[in-house]
Amino acid sequence: MSKINLCPSMMCADFTKLDLEIQDLEQAGVDLLHMDIMDGNFVPNFALGLEDYISVNRLTHLPLDAHLMIENPIRHVKLFAEAGAQIIYIHPEADRFPLTTLEKIKDYGCKAGIAINPETSIEMVSELLPHIDGVIIMTVNPGFAGQRFIESMDKKIKQVCALRKENEFTFEIGLDGNISPQRIKKYKNIGINNFVLGTSAIFGKEQSYAEIVTELRNL
Ligand code: DX5
Ligand code: ZN
């Protein structure tokens, strides 16, 4: 089994002490910082914007992704590519020509991925699968931390793993939304690569980030 990537969701971090938060996460040994960008339009909330993105990137050597929960991502992918994203995820539902956007992301030198909402079936995005480096399966409706895992997503998670295997696709698969230690334990064994850690796994706990990450590595 390949190593899993633990990806703290920075919208859940305490921005009043951002440098300390990042330092603690780095020392704990996380793999990538998950950056949720929300426009208050595609999703009913606002989260990190470009300035936050640039600040976080300045404060860390860790790679950053960009999970764009915004309408018409094609208009904005360049900004996040220039801000240093290693991989940019778009929601195909938010874009008229998602394949064009994915190609554009790659032209800017980034990896390109899609994030799929609970009500978006894998059949609806199947044409995109040969073109992506990563997929995030949303296991809650995007927009807010602290929601409940949608159990029926289990089928979709297994379906995407099977499709990847059958077609020998090389994209990574990530899960985002109410990802608890128990779920990491369950899904790392079926081939999930990336886990977004929010309030369910790492933020707002009694234990230190280092203790939590050690436990997650030893599941
Ligand atoms: C949105 C975010 C949230 C959240 C996940 O894309 O990534 O889903 O921070 O953390 P939980 O659900 O554990 O609070
Ligand atoms: Zn996210």
Using CA atoms, how far residue 213 sits from 109, 112, 146, 178, 206, in Å, is 30, 27, 19, 16, 13
pLDDT band at 2 (very low <50, low <70, confident <90, very high): confident
Centre of ligand 1 from the C-alpha of residue 8, in Å: 9
Residue 45 has pLDDT above 60, yes or no: yes
Q: Can you give the pLDDT at residue 1?
A: 57
Which ligand 1 atom lies nearest to the CA of residue 47? 1
Is 176 one of the catalytic residues?
yes
Give the chain's count of helices (H) and strands (E): 7, 8
Is 19 one of the catalytic residues?
no
Q: Taking the domains of the chain in order of start, what are their residue ranges?
A: 5-217
Intra-chain end-to-end CA distance of the chain, in Å: 13
* 59 vs 69: CA distance, rounded Å: 23
Q: Can you give the pLDDT at residue 39?
A: 97
Q: Can you give the pLDDT at residue 158?
A: 98
Residue 87 has pLDDT above 60, yes or no: yes
Answering whether pTM is above 0.95, one says yes
Centre of ligand 1 from the C-alpha of residue 104, in Å: 27
Using CA atoms, how far residue 168 sits from 129, 162, 172, 195, in Å, is 11, 10, 12, 22
For the segment(s) 5-217, the CATH number from 3.30.70.1090, 2.60.120.700, 3.30.390.10, 3.20.20.70 is 3.20.20.70
Residue 12 has pLDDT above 60, yes or no: yes
- Closest by Cα among 79, 77, 75, 107 to 89: 77
Mean pLDDT in residue range 19-32: 98
Residue 93, burial from CB neighbour count under 10 angstroms (0-12, 13-18, 19+): middle
Which ligand 1 atom lies nearest to the CA of residue 136? 6
